[in-house]
Structure formats: structure tokens, C-alpha cells
Structure 1
Amino acid sequence: MTTAPAPSPALDAVGLDVLDGALAITAPDSLPHAVTDVHALSRTVTLDQDATQIASAQLLATAHGVYEPSIDGEPATTSVLNPGWTVYESRLQVQRFDVTELARAAGAELTLRADLAGGWWRGNMGFRGGVNYGERTAFLAALVLTYRDGAVQTVLTDETWTATTTAVTFVSIYQGQHEDRRREAGAPRPVAVAEIDRGTLIEQSSPLIVRHESRAVEQVITTASGKTILDFGQNLVGWLRFTVTGPAGTEITLRHAEVLEDGELGVRPLRSAAATDRLILSGDPAGETFEPTFTFHGFRYAEVTGWPGQLDPAAIEAVVVHSDIHRTGWFESSHAGVNQLVSNSVWSQRGNFLAVPTDCPQRDERLGWTGDIAAYAATAAYQFDVDAFLHSWLLDLAAETAANPRGFVPFVVPDILKFSEVPKQENPEDEWSGATAVWGDAAVWVAEALWTAYGDLDHLRAQYPGMVLHLESVERALSGSGLWDRGFQFGDWLDPDASPHAPADAKADKGVVATACLIRSARFAARAAELIGEEDGARRWQELADRTRAAFLEAYVEQDGRILSDCATVYSLAIAFDLLPEDLREKSAARLAEVVAEAGYRVSTGFAGTPFVTWALSETGHVQDAYRLLLEKGNPSWLYPVSMGATTIWERWDSMLEDGSINPGEMTSFNHYALGAVADWIYQVVLGIRPAAPGYAEILIQPVPGPGIDWARGAYDSVAGRIEVSWSAPAEGPFSLETTIPEGTRASVVLPDGTRHEVGPGSHRF
């Protein structure tokens, strides 16, 4: 008679204190290339009881570096690049893997192994590489086997483990992964003991990084120089995977890039990142599978050289990799260009939400730039469930800010740049606090986007200290006039009228931008403080907002509604952030519409203004101007990259010029989501799904049709349930709307004629 397997206990049944008895281990110096190569750390364990008596098996593990665990040669997890990237000095995530079935499949003994690589820990990160957390990697783990009779056997990392070399001879996030399958592992050697501060260990808080799908080759291109390039039809993030047979010593080289230039691989935007993988075959007649899981690339195109015999494109696939965030928002309309724009936004988020919300996934950067996600957070929270992902990142932001000697939100989180030489201030008498608008405001704006989307009060409470740190750093930066008009600012970064070599040279006055941003941040911090019961904080930040608004109006706004620097960004911020009294609001909105028209409805905003310009127009009655701005195809515009074949959002409005050449600026990416923040307006205004209360506990359905789009439909999987909208506004005929409201909620439906209808759960037609 066979006894049914006992159910596995909950994964959190074992506390992190089980790791207290473990030692962090690494490859010994006696092993060849102990610092640079990928090494296998392993231990074979005799089971205390028969494997069939295992009730549960749980692996807790983490690393300085990235690791891949296995039991008896079988992967212990489908996740990759564990433990991801956090502020390692204070928040090192521990992963929990249920390996019960793998352990039960063992005989009298099992072998636990971890392949350990440098990852972000020893990644030579930064603009020019060369910046690391440390030179030596380390692995820390505990395998906890619980038998049916309640007995527990624990296997810890310690000096009894051994290390060997692997086929991976070189790996780098920027440069790629190289393998020589002819390489012998050699005799195992005792591991060296390393250091991991147990005080930094935390439970896994951010989603694991996983493979999501694979894409086939869409086209094989033979270039004028005779190169073979594979086109996967979509700019994505991940790597190539294939199985190949060939003679021993055959070297296959894979180079990756996002675009072609002059018919060849366009690698100049990668700067110093080689983004190149290499495989030297062992000659195994059964075939050899290659998948470089210790690195990742941003690419649409891959150049392949050295392939043995005729290359069969069906043999190679592109694997899409990012953090395990799930799609929650969908949009489709009568306008193919807008549909592609939304698709580009979705794919840019997918590619850049890998461990942290990065600026770009391809060049020698890939950092968690705060300004990008500050601009994009609302869009991100519609397209995917990013609650855990961005909450974890905000905790990293607060940790980095608290550790910063000057107490300001760093430009990137985690702040790898702090290990670089910091440029000296040009004017030592300028007491710049280090705080920057938009970038630093990520501490507040990202939290606001999460509160709006998910309504999680516990998360808001945990995020509030980061808001306080940011606002206190800004208070120190204010001039005697109460304005935020001194010190370094990125300003309206990447204004399309700026030189490609001077991305900060925007039309918008930096003091206007920064002061407006402060008011928005102080207001939400006051609201957050009120919600979590911090009454003193609520008063403090509301008073700061009120004082700053008064100073803003006095210094920057004329009685005719004109705002200093008279450009689209300053009007957009003043209107969208509700900084103006009603009489001036109307005047400023009229001037904004004039400015937009004078630019021929081509975009004239950068990072600061772009998320808000269509909002400022449509919310003040200038709907047609907002639609014309959205649907413009000339350069610069949202649809210009679409017309050039873009499949992700570009960093610059003109990352590729009309003649097909790459923008001459040193900083040029083709996968950079910030300027795709207009998608938030598309979802809320064009489609019409809006939150009327945090977490969509109350819903507002208010589509605002405009010229150029005859119908739209879409859905949002909110925490309250799925919300669906479909509307049609034909040139000849009445407007019609269908919407579905989830159980347990109510919605206000506002039709284009201004009538309002209160509805409950279910489907409704108007």
C-alpha cells in the first residue's frame, strides 16, 4: 500500500533565522579565475530518512551576485538572476523555493548546487563601467527537509561545500556571457568562507525575475558586409536560446542591438556595452543548448557569426525576461498609430521592469533612474500590477536617501553611482542640498500612483518616511523667497528643442518647474500623513504647499495668465497640479492651447511636461488640441517613432532621424518608457476608466472622445475587479457606451454631453 504524500507546509513556515548557522561561501583563490568566472558550489548530502518520507523541502537562499540553484541537476526554480537588485547594504532579499518534489525524487542522497556569477554585485556598473559593490561574490543557503514523522534535516552552506569551474568563462550584464563547452570542471576544491551581513537579510519583497515568452525570428537579413542578422520584429529584453550541433572548437558569436543603421547592426547607442555572447562548442553529437541566463540584452536584432553549416532561423528564439509582473490594462482603438503607441509603452515597461525600474535595458547604464519612473508611475500601474515591485523599490529609495550624507533622493536607486567619484560643485557657496525636482519627487509621486491604484494603507505608511526625507531635503534648498530656484536641476529634461548634446537645455524655467513639483509633492505628503494619522506632518506639509504656492503665484504668474518662460511645460504643470486660481487657470489654459498650436501640434515638452500636457488641455476644455497633439505624426511627436517603425518608446523624440540615421547625441536609447507617460491620459481620458477613490473602490467612467478616434475599447483589472469600457462615436450617428463594473463597487458614468449616471455592478449600456 502506498502512502499519499503529505502536503507541503506553507513556505513561510521556516524563518530566516535558519540562516544564522550558515556560512556564506565563495570560490577559493586556488580555483582558476576565482573572481571573474562563474563557479559551481555544491554539496552532496545523505538523507536522514528515505526520500519518500519527505513531507516538505524548502530552500532559502541569497547571494552577493546572482545564482542558479539545482538539486541533482534539476533547476530548483524557474526564476533567474536571483536575488535581483536591491540596496544590498541594507536590503538583501532571501528567496524561498519549494523543492519538495525534487527532494522526493532523490535516492539515498542528493546534491545541492548553486552556480554563482557576478550579477549587479560585481557588475562593473555605471556609465563607463567599473563600479562594483565588491569584488568577491558569496552564496548563503539553507535546505530544510521535513520528514513525515516531524523530524527536520537542515543542510547549510559551510566549509564542507566544494567549488568547481563551469563552462562560463566570462559574464557581465553589460558585456554578455561567454562559454567554452570544452572546458573541464576539474577536481572540486574546498570553498572559501565569505561575508554576508545577516542584518541585511529580508524576505523576498519584489517579484522574482522570470522568462515570460519566446519569440521566433521574423526575418533573416544579409547585410551589405555579408553579416547575418536576425530580426525578431519586436524590441525586447532577454537573450537568445538555441540548440546546435557542430565540430569541437566552433565559436558562435551573438551581437545584439535595437536598430539597424545603414543596413548594419546599430551598436553606437550601446556605448561601451558589448552586448555580445559567445559559445565555443564541445562537439557533442547530441547537440548543445545555449541560454545565457547570467546576463540580459535589450535588442530587436541579433547578428550571428560562426554558425556551423546553414543557419536555420527556426532553431533560434528570443526569450523575453522581466520581473514577474502581470498585465492588468488593455487598450484598442480605431487609430492604428495610437494602438502601436500603447503597445510600445507596454513593451518598454516589460523590458525595463527587470529587478528595478530601469531607464534603459541595453547600453552601459540600466539603472533605476528616479526621474523616469516619477513621470511614468501612473501609466505603469495601469498596464501591470506593480504594487509589490514599486513598493519594494520605494523602500530602497528611502534606504538610499537615509544613508546619503546630505539626505537627498539619489538620481538612481539602487545608487551604484555613490561608489563613483562625485563631481565637485562649481560654486562652493551655492548650498545645494542635492535635491532635484521630478527625480527626487519620485519618493512622493510613485507612492501617490500606488495609493491611487491599489489603496494599500500599510504600504503608504511604509512609504511615508521616504516622502519626509525628500521634502526635508527640498526645504533646505529653498531660497529666501520660498522658491525652489537654486542648485542643480534636470528641469524639463530632453526638451525636443534642446541640442542633442545638451539635454538639460530646456525652454521651461527650472525654478518654475521645481517649485511647481514641490507644491504637488507637499500636498500629497500632507494627504498621506493625514491618512496614516500623522497630524503634525499633515499640517507641516500642507503649510509648506500653501506657502510655496503663494510664492509661485507672486514670482512666476502674471495677471494675464502668462507664466515665466511661456512654454507648454510651465502651463501644463501649473494647470495639472492645480496651482492657479480659477480666473488665471482659464487664461493660462488658453495660452497653453496657443503655444501648442504655434508649435504645429508637435510636442515641445520634455520629461517634466510630457506626462501632463494632454491632461492640462483636456481638463480645461481644449480637447481638440489634446487630440491633435496626440495624433500628430511629424517630428517631434508621439507618433513619429511609430511612423519610423518603433516597437518601444524612445528616449528621445528623435532617437532616429528621418533619414534613418541614429541621433548624434551620446545618450540615445530606443527603449526608454518616460515619454510614453501619455498612455495614462489615453487610458483615463480617451478610454475613460478612472479611479474615483483609491484602489478603485469607487469608479469614474468618463470617456472624452475627440477628432481622429472613432471608437475605443479596453479593460483594467483593478484590485476591486475587472472594469471594461467600449465606446463608439461615429461621424454620422450617436455616441454609444458599454461598461462593466465589478462586484462590490459603484461607478459614476459621465457621458460626453455632461449627463451623469450612478450605476452598480454589472453591464450597462448608454
Structure 2
Amino acid sequence: MKTKMTFILCLFLMLISCNNKTGISSLKCEMLTNPLGIDCLASRLSWVITGEERGIKQQGYHILVASSLELLDKEQGDLWDSGDVVSDQSIQVVYAGKTLSSRQTCYWKVKVSTTKGESSWSEPAYWSMGLLDEKDWQAQWIGLDRAFEWDNPDTQYTRLSARYFRKEFMTEKQMKKATLYLSGLGLYKLYLNGDVIGDQELSPTPTDYSKSIKYNTFDVTEQLLNGENAIGVVLGNGRFFSMRRRDNYYPPGHHWLYNVRNFGFPKMILQLEIEYTDGEKQVIVSDNTWNVTADGPIRSNNEFDGEEYDATKEMAGWNQPRFDDSIWLQADLTESPGGKLEAQINPNIRIMETIKPVGIKEQASGKYIMDMGQNMVGWLQMRVKGQKGDCVTLRFSETLNPDGSLYMANIREAQVTDKYTLKGGNEETWQPMFTYHGFRYVEITGYPGIPRLESFEGKVLYDEMETVGTFETSDSTINQIYKNAYWGIRGNYRGMPTDCPQRDERMGWLGDRATGSLGESFIFNNNNLYAKWLDDIEQAQLENGSIPDVAPNYWDAYNNNMTWPAAYIIIANMLYEQYGNSEPIAKHYASMKKWLDYMKENFMVDYLITRDTYGDWCLPPERPEIIFSEDPARKTDGLLIGTAFYYHLSNLMNGFATLLGKPEDAVYFSELSKNIRQAFNDKYLNKEVPQYSNNTVTANLMPLCYGMVPAEYEKEIFKQIVSKTENDFNGHVSTGLIGIQWLMRGLSEHGRADLAFRIATNRDYPSWGYMVENGATTIWELWNGNTADPAMNSGNHVMLLGDLVTWFYEYLAGIRNKQGCIGFSQIELKPYPVDGLNEVKASFLSPYGLIQSAWLKHGNDFQWDITIPCNTTARVCIPATTGDAITENNRNISEAEGIEFVGMEGEYAVFNVMSGSYHFVSSK
């Protein structure tokens, strides 16, 4: 029997995903992503089954991988024919076929057998291999390792113009295929015969270029012409050529905070491979036959300071054939930056949304302030008409002064200014190429005439990734906080998760994203980005094992904390639990262990970690005008924080060792954890009160959530957390970056979801709602971001979200992995209804498919609609007094298909539920 089902095919190649949507009966396919130029042989294949019937569970699969579509259509898997495999595995299936070679294209499809019958073959998907061997690269690195008279590369505020490269070549026969491989550092824009190739921006992804260099791959078959052709590449500075050179401006010991690492002048490597229908091949490579100029329209570009573009310097046709480049320079052959040339696994940044400004006012004569209505990250596209030589200046900020001018104190020393010089004549349209800004407001000066709203558009840029989650409630404060989080999270996806997008920092601080990455994964498919970031972290590790606080290590910030580098292990665990992705654990296990051994050998005394730098960073201070609390009663002992973290990480490593089949390591970490737990309690647990250390919420919360508290003291320790929160802080947040990672879940898990809800919906200081109350459209860096020292106050920072977004999905909506399961192969659906909240609607596209949870309280009735994906089951916990008081689709639940009663657990009736959609109503 054939059932009506559809598939979404996914290809995981070092975590590059490829999705196909296919219909079994109609055999339709919508290709979302086709990975090109992958240089990993350990491909992993995944698919999603969807269908209307309940209880669809995969029982087996059959995968075919072929070297051509023709063979695949004939059901000939010449690369791999898995045969009929009895298995329910539908994600992360390891390719087990023939060894693949450079440039090879692999076409694949799958069919499955299920409890409801057998499917047809899915529509095909494909991936291609990149250049797997250094010898595959015939191209050479080229550039211009020097500055020009209009540049200023050695001052505090570096200025360097863009480099323009071009190469002409001939094709004279019918082409079959053309593939282009390119790494342009720091950033590139690629043209072929005048056309922009690809829609990526600010590419490639940033790395430590001395360790790894990413290349992008393009199929350019359709852009090549029969006859004359021209390639053009523009190189910007990005993170390659430093934005700041401050050796002579700050004293020793402070350089890491001010200097941004410099890798040299921009350079590129490019290889175009053309295959003709007669089998002959032609290769165009970067070498010293290319021509280059730096005297083009982009006069300066800098991620901190902006871009200056002089349209009078434009070179019409420079990226097309027959352009006269006789006055251009010959490109220099340059040295490689030193890193390994690798295919990029994470998608590039793209323009993901366009927004319109909402207002514009004249602030002074000839100076206008434009409001985008939203703190955004990206750039401004402008249309303007004027005289040749007119110069429009755009300056960006997040907030305004009381007089309506830009508030720049929190931007610090970033210049955040774009300049456009008109060529004159017709209307001109411009947007920058190699910079971006974090802003809501734009100061416009020099604009010919009066600037109009319709002449500007905000281009929102972040890493291309699917939005997988939706969340909405009956509470407007929570809804706005969620929206602020959404804008802040995506605005800080820059090929690495950054701390902020607006000032002279924009770094990948590890501590900011440890637990936060989990909440983010419910909104965005961040698997590829965070897998890449773990590579950055390992590449930043010193030989002795030390890991910095920032990765890639553009700052020399090796402070030997437990808390910030802990993100390395915590995020690897997140990728495993949320995506079923064990590859990062296997890949980085030795490095993680090396770091823990380093910290143990250098900073552990009697099983206590004696090293901490930041404490419970940015906890709410006692006075609104200060950044850091001066009250010892509010501060949590750094030794306690570091030791609790080491204990938690040891337990995670115990699980990793077991997963990887390392029993000796598992025993080692288990015994180490026991000793740390004992020493920790001997040092900090006051059994008479009882409380930990000086009784801060963080001091009690961490051991409680990490399982360090002896069972007989758990209730009393939790009472201290509640008492401190309700009495000393009037039901408000009292934690900083460390404690906030567990606050909302810790309160809810121990019976006080109502207190968590109060904290989430407060509108006065300190709270996320206080930010909303004061006009924030993203998340602040400080709880008192509108009153403390302005130099610290980023208006777009996500670190203080902590576990809030996780709490939205896992507790309010009730969507989470079943305990002990990964990748949502088995789900727990358990909402935490609270007084004051009447409705929650959420969805999450898990690796197995769409999970939905929408509940509504009406009087004594609790109505709940859920969707459980095919090939999964769920443990469903319905708020009810008895199991008999529940109906499903207007009938007694005992009569419903796909549901098995387990029993009562407190105020929940618990059921095992098969895949499908359900409508529950319970009464109290």
C-alpha cells in the first residue's frame, strides 16, 4: 500500500544542510539549498517525512547515490546503494558508498517503509565535492602588498581603499559546466562579464586566517559567454586588514582590548574550471597575469568606521571584456596567509530583509535625522540626484540625545560613517559593499535638496539561515521581548556570533552565547554557524591548552576563565541535543579535554577552581548610574562560579566520553565530578541556614541546577532563591550573565513558574520589560542601559537573555526533547500555564519536522492543539485533575487513536502519543 506522504531531504556535509520538499504522489520538489564544493567525505544524509495519518513511524529506508541524474533515474546507485535497511533512523545517516573525489557531483534519493506503508522514491537532491587536495589548486595568491598615497594604513584609524582585480579570457567551444572557486580576503564581491555572481554579502566567513581560510564555490555555467569573457573581483578589508592599529596609543597590558589583529593587505585566490562537451578542460587561475588597481570608487572601507565611495572614480565596464586597463598595475604574487584552504560549511551573510524608514526630521540646517523604527543591523540603500562632486554623509546611531541629535557615546571610537560622492546627472542608487552598521537612527548631511523617506531603504543583513520558530502569547510584554530578542540575535550573526554590531568591538565573546545558543536554536537553524564557531575556538587554543574569551582571536584575550571558554563544551552539547549532531563532540573532544586538563593543572586546588575574571558579569547594580555593583552582598564568589562550572563541564564530558566509546575517560570525569561536588559543598554549603556562600541567587541557583545540592537540602536552597528574589529584589532579576543562564528554568522546574512569569513581564527596573518600557527594540547590554555610564551601553546585546528564549519554548509552549533523547526523536510536550497568561502559540521546525503547540485557557477549560512530526513520538503532559477529564477532538481521550495513558504526575495527566495532530480539552 502507498500512503500519501512527503519528504524533506537534508544533506549534512560537515553540517552543510540541503533540503528538498517532495510530494509522494505528485513528486514535486522545491530545492532550498544545493551544497557546492564540499571538501568533507563524511557526508550525512537526512530526510523528513510528513503525512496526515497518525502514527507514521519509519521502519526502514533505501538510499541511492549516483554520479549522474540519468543513473539515479534508472535507480542505479553507482556510488552507493544502501539496499533495504531496517531502521527508524532518518537524520544523520552516514554516507557509506565509494570514496568520493574532487569536483564530483553526487545525486541521491530515498524511499522509506513505514507503519502506514511504503513511500515512492523522493525527488533527487545533490551535492558536489570541492577541491580535496592542495594539488588541486593551480591558482596562486595575488594582491597588492602596499598602500597608496590616498590610503593611511598605519594610524590609529586605519584607512585602506578597495582593490579591483580583473582578468580576460576566451572560450571557443560549447561548454558543459563551469565551476569557480574563490577566497577573497578580507571580503570580496565577484563579477563575471559584468554580472554579480551570487547574492552573498561580506563574504567569506571570518576566521583566524593563519589557521583556516574559507573558499566559496559557484556554478557559473550560465554566466560564461562563448568567446570573450572577463572576471572582476573587488576586495575589501573585513577582518583581514585591521580596523585599529594602536600600539603607540595605549600602554602595555591593554593592547588586547584595543588592537584588532592584522593579517596584512587584502589578497585573493581564484580558480575557474571549464569543462567542454568534447571532454576538454580549461582552467583560469589567479596569477600575475591579472591586472589590479586601488584607484577605484571605494576610497576606504572599514567595519568599524564605514565606507567612502566616490562615484566620480567609477570605471564603467571594468568587469566586462574589452575594458582598457593599460594604466592598471600587474597583480603581485603574494604569500598565503598561512591557514588551510577549506570549503566554507556555514552559509554567507545575505540581505535577509528590507525595511522602510518611519520618519525624518530636520535637526539643524542641512542636517536631517531619519528613524528606521527598529534597531537593525545592515546598511542603508540611498537614491539621490545632484551635481557632480556633491557628497552625502550618513552617520549611524542606536539612540538620540534629548535635543534630537545622534547619541554617540556608546559607539565609543567607531566612526560609523558612510560617504557617497555623486557623479552627477541622473538619479543614483548606492549602498556600501564592505561595511555594516548597528543602528536605528541615521544623520543625513549634504543631501541635495530635502531627503524623502521613499529615497531610503534599510537592508537587514545576517547569516543566511532558516527561521524555524514562531512564538506568540496573550501578553504584550512577552511578545515585544521576544521580538526584541529575534532582532538582536539575528543582527549579531556575522559568520560568528558577535556581542554587538555597532561599536568598535563586534567580537565573538564566548560567554555571551553559551546557554543563549540553545534558545536561539528554537528560532533559527543555527547548527552550521555554531559548528563553524567551535572550529574557531579550537583554532584559537594555545599549545598549552588555554582558550581565549574571544574567537576567532582577533583580540589576544587569554584570561583563563572557566566561564567564558565553557561555551566550547556547552555549545557542542547543544548541537548534539538539538540537532542530533555528534560530529562536533567527536571533532573537538581532545581539544576540550586538553583545556580542562590545563585549567585543572594550573588553577585547581583541593578540587576548587581558583581562577575567575568576570564574576556574575553585569548583574543589576544597586544604583542606576553605575555599571558594576559595589555591594558585596550582590556579588557571587568567583571561586564558587568557576568550581560549579568545572563540575558541570565534567559531567558533560563524562557523557561525551561515553558517547565516543572512551570508558576510561568516562570513569575519570565521573570520579572527578564526585570529588569536586564534595569539595564544593564542604566549602560553600552552610547546612545550618542552609544556603551557599553569601546567599546570592546565583550562588544557590548554580549548584541547584547542576545537581550539586545534597537531596535533603534542595527544597531549602530553592526557598532561599525564592525568598531572595521576592523579598530582597521585589520579584525582579538579581543575576548577571552567569545566573541568568539558569534562572527561568530553575524557578519553573522547582514549582515557581509564576515567579518566572512575573520576572518575564516586569516593566520596571531591572527587567527585559524595562528595556521595552524605555523604547528598546533589541536587548540591552546592561539592565540599566539607559542610565549607567554610556560608554558601556550597547543597545543591541543578547547576553542578558540567558535562558529566557529557552523558557519561552520549553516551558510556556512546552516543547522540548524528551529526557535522554536527542534531535527531537522523542519529544516532551509539557506547558507550564500560569495565572495572567491565557494563550500561547508556538511552532518549531525540528530535525524531524514541524512541532506545534497552541494552548488557550478559557474559564476552567484548557484547550491545547499540538502537532507531532512523523517518525517521532511524544510524552504529552496535559494540565488536568484526572485523565478522564480530557477529550481529544470532542471524544473521550480513551477512545482516541494514537494515545496511551501513562498516569498522573502532580497536576498533569501524562500520555504517550504517536505522530499526528491533536486537539485536547481538559477541565479543572
Give the alignment's TM-score, normalised by structure 1: 0.92
Q: Secondary structure at the match of 1:735?
A: strand
Aligned to 2:140: 23
2:911 is equivalent to residue 757 of structure 1: yes
Q: Tell me how far 1:123 sits from its aligned partner.
A: 2.9
1:681-727 superposed Cα distances (whole Å, 9 cap, x missing partner) = 11110111011111001100000011221110110000011100001
Q: Secondary structure at the match of 2:607?
A: coil
- Using the alignment, how far apart are the partners of 1:128 and 1:371 within structure 2? 16
Match of 2:575 among 450, 462, 465: 450
2:404 is equivalent to residue 278 of structure 1: no
Aligned to 1:3: none
1:234-290 superposed Cα distances (whole Å, 9 cap, x missing partner) = 11110001222210010000011111121221111010001100001111x232221
- Using the alignment, how far apart are the partners of 1:676 and 1:556 within structure 2? 28
Q: Secondary structure at the match of 1:610?
A: helix
Question: 1 or 2, which has the higher strand percentage?
Answer: 2
Q: Tell me how far 1:756 sits from its aligned partner.
A: 0.2
Contact in 2 for aligned 1:491/1:504 (Cα 8 Å):
no
Aligned to 2:398: 258
Query: Which has the larger Rg?
Result: 2
2:490 is equivalent to residue 350 of structure 1: yes
Counterpart of 1:148, as a letter, is T
- Using the alignment, how far apart are the partners of 1:562 and 1:415 within structure 2? 39
1:640-698 superposed Cα distances (whole Å, 9 cap, x missing partner) = 101112111111012113xxxxx324211011111123111111101110111110011
Aligned to 2:508: 368
- Using the alignment, how far apart are the partners of 1:529 and 1:479 within structure 2? 22
- Using the alignment, how far apart are the partners of 2:690 and 2:219 within structure 1? 62
Q: Tell me how far 1:533 sits from its aligned partner.
A: 1.2
Match of 1:331 among 453, 459, 471: 471
Contact in 2 for aligned 1:651/1:675 (Cα 8 Å):
yes
- Using the alignment, how far apart are the partners of 2:136 and 2:187 within structure 1? 18
Q: Secondary structure at the match of 1:307?
A: coil
Match of 1:193 among 321, 333, 339: 333
Aligned to 2:608: 483
1:463-519 superposed Cα distances (whole Å, 9 cap, x missing partner) = 3233213312221244432111x2342110001126766648661111111111111
Q: Tell me how far 1:733 sits from its aligned partner.
A: 2.4
2:633 is equivalent to residue 492 of structure 1: no
- Using the alignment, how far apart are the partners of 1:630 and 1:305 within structure 2? 41
Aligned to 1:93: 214
Aligned to 1:236: 376
1:557-584 superposed Cα distances (whole Å, 9 cap, x missing partner) = 1224311021111222122212112221
Counterpart of 1:577, as a letter, is Y
Bigger mean CA deviation after superposition, 259-268 or 472-481:
472-481
Q: Tell me how far 1:531 sits from its aligned partner.
A: 0.6
CA shift in 2, pair 1:99/1:129, >3 Å? farther
- Using the alignment, how far apart are the partners of 2:546 and 2:338 within structure 1? 27
Bigger mean CA deviation after superposition, 223-232 or 559-568:
223-232
Contact in 2 for aligned 1:59/1:97 (Cα 8 Å):
yes
Match of 1:682 among 794, 808, 823: 808
Matches within 5 A, 1:555-570: 555-559=683-687, 560-570=689-699
- Using the alignment, how far apart are the partners of 1:13 and 1:680 within structure 2? 36
Matches within 5 A, 1:126-525: 130-164=259-293, 165-183=295-313, 187-196=327-336, 200-223=340-363, 227-262=367-402, 263-283=404-424, 285-401=425-541, 404-418=542-556, 434-484=559-609, 486-497=610-621, 503=628, 507-525=635-653
Which consecutive residues of structure 1, in runs of 5 or more, have no partner in the other structure? 1-5, 423-432, 658-662
Aligned to 1:76: 197
1:567-610 superposed Cα distances (whole Å, 9 cap, x missing partner) = 11122212221211222111111111101101111211100001
- Using the alignment, how far apart are the partners of 1:278 and 1:495 within structure 2? 39
- Using the alignment, how far apart are the partners of 1:511 and 1:707 within structure 2? 39
1:359-392 superposed Cα distances (whole Å, 9 cap, x missing partner) = 0000000000000011311111111111111001
CA shift in 2, pair 1:13/1:608, >3 Å? closer
Q: Secondary structure at the match of 1:140?
A: strand
The sequence identity of aligned pairs, in percent, is 28
Match of 1:722 among 847, 850, 854: 850
- Using the alignment, how far apart are the partners of 1:60 and 1:196 within structure 2? 16
Q: Tell me how far 1:228 sits from its aligned partner.
A: 1.1
Q: Tell me how far 1:734 sits from its aligned partner.
A: 1.4
Bigger mean CA deviation after superposition, 623-632 or 637-646:
623-632
Match of 2:786 among 646, 650, 656: 656
- Using the alignment, how far apart are the partners of 2:350 and 2:800 within structure 1? 26
CA shift in 2, pair 1:501/1:417, >3 Å? farther
CA shift in 2, pair 1:30/1:613, >3 Å? closer
CA RMSD between the two structures: 2.1
- Using the alignment, how far apart are the partners of 1:268 and 1:359 within structure 2? 18
Aligned to 1:554: 682
Counterpart of 1:119, as a letter, is G
Match of 1:744 among 835, 847, 871: 871
Counterpart of 1:764, as a letter, is Y
Q: Tell me how far 1:351 sits from its aligned partner.
A: 0.6
- Using the alignment, how far apart are the partners of 2:639 and 2:752 within structure 1? 27
CA shift in 2, pair 1:38/1:287, >3 Å? same
- Using the alignment, how far apart are the partners of 1:9 and 1:556 within structure 2? 60
Q: Secondary structure at the match of 1:750?
A: strand
Which consecutive residues of structure 2, in runs of 5 or more, have no partner in the other structure? 1-68, 71-102, 106-126, 154-159, 245-254, 316-324, 880-906
Count of matched residue pairs: 733
Give the alignment's TM-score, normalised by structure 2: 0.77
CA shift in 2, pair 1:446/1:736, >3 Å? same
CA shift in 2, pair 1:406/1:212, >3 Å? same
Q: Tell me how far 1:87 sits from its aligned partner.
A: 2.0
